[in-house]
Structure formats: structure tokens, C-alpha cells
Amino acid sequence: MAGGTFTVQNKVRPGAYINFKSAGKPLGTLSDRGIMTMPLSLKWGPSKKVIEITNETDIQEVLGYSLLDQELLLIKEAVKRASKILLYRVNDGTKATATVSPLTITAKYGGTRGNALSVILTEDVDAEGTFKVITLLDGRPVHEQLGKTVEDLENNSFVTFSGTGALAASSGTPLTNGTDTVAESQDYLDYFKAIEVFTWNTMAIPTTDSTVKGATVAFIKRMREDEGKKVQAVLENYPTADYEGIISVKNGVKLTDGTVIDAVKATAWVAAATAGAEVNQSNTYTSYDDSVDVDARYTNTQIIEALQKGEFIFIEQGGKAVVEQDINTLISFTADKDKSFRKNRVIRVLDAIGNDMHRIFARNYLGSTDNHADGRKLFKGECINYLDTLQGISAIQNFDSTKDVEVLPGQESDSVVANVYVQPVDSMEKLYMTVTVR
């Protein structure tokens, strides 16, 4: 008996023609959050490249320090809330070197951290002519190998070896002349170009440079409005941005170990906390991890003025530094962008809808679904399923699937128009109570 599958019912031979397909399920889901990005001037690591940092990353191998070192303070603050950091070393440097003739040792990366490297070559007592080659960082071994000649040696995560000939003993040769360069405005523009092709939620720009801040605002506006990537950036004391995509940090915090995190450094935690917050979560009154106070206190009047200017401010509450209100810099409200757009929880919901519907359409409908009534009905059902999910987690409310989504044919044969009506849920922040005494 004949068999197989079929597209249309046009088979000639008698037989069983059977198609298999999965039952229809919603294709769209909420995208993951928690990804932040940050450009830093560092003393070690690959320059002008995006470096992915997660809880599985060997930080010392990649950046030359541990998270306990002050040089990586901002990364330490960011990992308190972010699940992933897309780091970019915005500066460069010259590589430290050393020579134990005929061997030349060169630091893997440019920067002054290379000056903390050294190499010891000791002859193996069990194998004449064979040397144990130990690479040390701050006097502690980080790599060890055996070899008789320079050609036998393999590069490691900290140094490269070059030259030819038999190895010679050395009780310890330090690498020297590593230097750091200073990042300039163009380096930040290069960072924007590099990071644009990655997926992330928030960006921290820990600098006081007004030129870089202005360039950041322009970049975020282009990403949100021209590229369709709904992201936010966090700057220090830049409320003049007046834009829902920019958060301006006014002050900083003090940590339990006495470390002072000023407003510039606090951008790292704020960006991480914003990225890590879910669409149904506000950071209002969220405690800054490991904090005991703010670095600058303000009066009630000053706090009100800061909020009215669109500033993200920390206050002391119960021996902790907490976020006064989870807001962005938008203060010029219009019919299209009312006062709710200043709330970052609301923006997270709207950004999720923008990012997720873009992803769902691109992956599952674009170019593969017919633009007729049935095809549009299918996409409408996808929109409804997604918005039902948001309502189920209290990200939106009062959603009516019979009235709040319409998918219509566009002006051209390949275009579709979707009109969606949503009401984001905000968090309780103000209590007005009247107590009547009987």
C-alpha cells in the first residue's frame, strides 16, 4: 500500500497519506530581563570588545582582578542585581613585557595590570633540561607548564611567549612598562556601535562627561524610536534629558564596609536593578544591597524638587539606602505621553510589549503567514495570548480581549495594522488616609 504525506488531495495510488503537526500553542512568551551593559576604563582585559560577564565567568582571568578588588567595584555593584553584564573596555594600553633570553614574555592585554605579572623558570630535577614555567599574578601562581625550548611553551590567559631556543632559569622576572590609555568621546561612540547589535535591557554610563552624556541620550533615542529596541540608560545628574529612556541618578550610598558609592558609581547598581526588575515590579523603596546610608542627605523640600525634575534619588530609611521613587527623567508630558510614562514600572511593561511583539512577529509570522483574514486572526490570537499573560501577572489590568486588540489589513498587500489598548499596573506609593476620632 502506498503512503507518505500530502499537501493537496491529488494522490493517484490507493494508500494512507498522513501529515503530522503539533497542536496550536501560544508562540509568544515574556522575554527574560536582567541584562545590563556598561563601558569601563580598565587596567586589563580585551579592549574595544563586548565581554559577557555571568556568575560562571572567571573574573580574574578575564579582567585581571577579583570582585573584591576596588578596580572592579562597579562590576561588583552591578552583579548584585544583574543576571548578565555586557562589559566593554572603553580604553586600551600598552602591553607589559619581560625577557629571559631567548624567551620574551608579553602580557596578553595592554594595561598597567600587566606590571603585576611575573614568570619563574626552574629546572625540573627529574628531567634534565626541562623547565617548570610558572606565571604569577601579584606573586600568586595562575598557570604552570613544562618545556625545554621556547617553542614548547603554550600561551595562557595572562601572557604569550615568543622567541626560539633552549630555556634558561630565572628566579622571577617581572613584566614592566604596561600602561593605560585614557578613554575619549570617540571611544564611547565606538562602544555604542559595538553594543547596538546585542540584546540588553539597560545601560550604565559612569561618567561626568557632558559630551558623553549627550551622546548617550541621542543613542538611546535612536535605539528606541528608530531601531525598535526598547532600552534605557542610566546617567549621573542629567535630568535635562527629559526622556523616558533616561534615568538620572542624583546621589549615592554608603556600604557596610565603609565604601562610598557616589552618583557616578551608583549608575551601575541602578542600571542593574532596573534591568533585573520584572515587568510587574517597581523599584520604589527598594534597598540598595549592603548599604547603610546615603552619601548625601536632602530635606523634604529638596527631595520633592528632585522628583519634580525627574531625578532618581536615594534616601535613608531604617539604616538602609532606599530608592525614593522609581522614575525616569520625563517631565514634559503630552497627550501621547502622560504622567504615567515617568514611572519605570510602566515603561517596563510598554517596553516588554514593544520588544516581545517585535520578536514574536519576526520569528513566527514575518514572511511565513498569509496576509488574509485567517492569517490576521492567527496573529490577533497571538497578541491576545501574550496580553493575557501580562494581565495574569498583574503587569496590565482591565484587558478585554474582545475589544482591546484589532488586527487589520494595511494600505499595502503585505502590511498589517495592529491596534492594542493596554492599562499598565503601577505600584501603591501614596497613602491618603483620613482617621475620624469618635
Considering the domain architecture, whether residues 85 and 205 belong to the same structural domain is answered as yes
Of 140, 155, 180, which residue constitutes the final position of a domain? 180
| Res 124: pLDDT | 86
pLDDT digits (tens, 9 = 90+) for 118-170: 999 999 888 888 999 999 999 999 999 999 999 999 999 999 999 999 999 99
Cβ atoms 355, 229 nearer than 8 A:
yes
**Does the pLDDT of residue 3 top 90, yes or no?**
no
| Res 29: pLDDT | 64
CA 421 from chain centre, in angstroms, equals 29
Residue 105 covered by a domain: yes
**Does the pLDDT of residue 1 top 50, yes or no?**
no
Distance CA(376)–CA(384), nearest Å, equals 12
Mean pLDDT value across residues 428-432: 78
Q: What's the grid cell of residue 322?
A: 532606599
Residue 106 or 418, more confident: 106
| Res 14: pLDDT | 63
Cβ atoms 417, 407 nearer than 8 A:
yes
Place 61 in a pLDDT band, splitting at 50, 70 and 90.
very high
Place 30 in a pLDDT band, splitting at 50, 70 and 90.
confident
Considering the domain architecture, whether residues 256 and 319 belong to the same structural domain is answered as yes
Distance CA(65)–CA(142), nearest Å, equals 12
Residue 336 covered by a domain: no
Of 323, 355, 384, which residue constitutes the final position of a domain? 323
Considering the domain architecture, whether residues 249 and 300 belong to the same structural domain is answered as yes
Residue 155 belongs to domain spanning: 93-180
| Res 169: pLDDT | 94
Distance CA(203)–CA(195), nearest Å, equals 10
Residue 429 covered by a domain: no
Considering the domain architecture, whether residues 215 and 312 belong to the same structural domain is answered as yes
Considering the domain architecture, whether residues 202 and 293 belong to the same structural domain is answered as yes
Residue 304 covered by a domain: yes
* Range among 85-99, 376-390, 406-420 with highest mean pLDDT value: 85-99
pLDDT digits (tens, 9 = 90+) for 201-245: 999 999 999 999 999 999 999 999 999 999 999 999 999 999 999
Considering the domain architecture, whether residues 130 and 271 belong to the same structural domain is answered as no
**Does the pLDDT of residue 26 top 60, yes or no?**
no
The angle, 0 to 180 degrees and rounded to 10, between the axes of the packed helices 185-195 and 210-225 is: 20
Count of domains in the chain?
2
Neighbour-count burial for 236-248, b at 16+ CB within 10 Å, e otherwise? bebbbbbbbbbbb
Q: What is the CATH number of the domain that holds 83?
A: 3.30.1370.220
Distance CA(345)–CA(425), nearest Å, equals 8
Residues with Cβ within 8 Å of 416's Cβ and at least 6 positions away in sequence, in order, are 371, 376, 379, 407, 408, 409, 410
**Does the pLDDT of residue 17 top 60, yes or no?**
no
Considering the domain architecture, whether residues 102 and 123 belong to the same structural domain is answered as yes
DSSP state, residue 64: S
Residue percentage of the chain with pLDDT more than 90: 80
pLDDT digits (tens, 9 = 90+) for 378-411: 999 999 999 999 999 999 999 999 999 999 999 9
| Res 344: pLDDT | 97
Q: What is the CATH number of the domain that holds 147?
A: 2.60.40.4290
Handedness of CA 54, 57, 63, 68 (dihedral sign): positive
Helix (H, G, I), strand (E, B) or coil at 65: coil
Considering the domain architecture, whether residues 207 and 314 belong to the same structural domain is answered as yes
Residue 100 covered by a domain: yes
**Does the pLDDT of residue 13 top 70, yes or no?**
no
Considering the domain architecture, whether residues 198 and 262 belong to the same structural domain is answered as yes
| Res 22: pLDDT | 46
Considering the domain architecture, whether residues 169 and 202 belong to the same structural domain is answered as no
Considering the domain architecture, whether residues 197 and 251 belong to the same structural domain is answered as yes
- Beta strand ranges found along 208-357 (DSSP E): 232-236, 246-249, 253-255, 260-261, 291-294, 311-312, 314-317, 320-323
Considering the domain architecture, whether residues 46 and 119 belong to the same structural domain is answered as no
Q: Per DSSP, what are the bridge partners of residue 15? A: 2
* Range among 71-80, 373-382, 402-411 with highest mean pLDDT value: 71-80
Residue 125, Ramachandran bin (φ over 0: left; ψ between -120 and 50: alpha; else beta): alpha
Of 180, 199, 227, which residue constitutes the final position of a domain? 180
| Res 19: pLDDT | 62
Residue 42 covered by a domain: yes
Place 194 in a pLDDT band, splitting at 50, 70 and 90.
very high
Planar angle of CA 123, 127, 130, nearest 5 degrees: 45
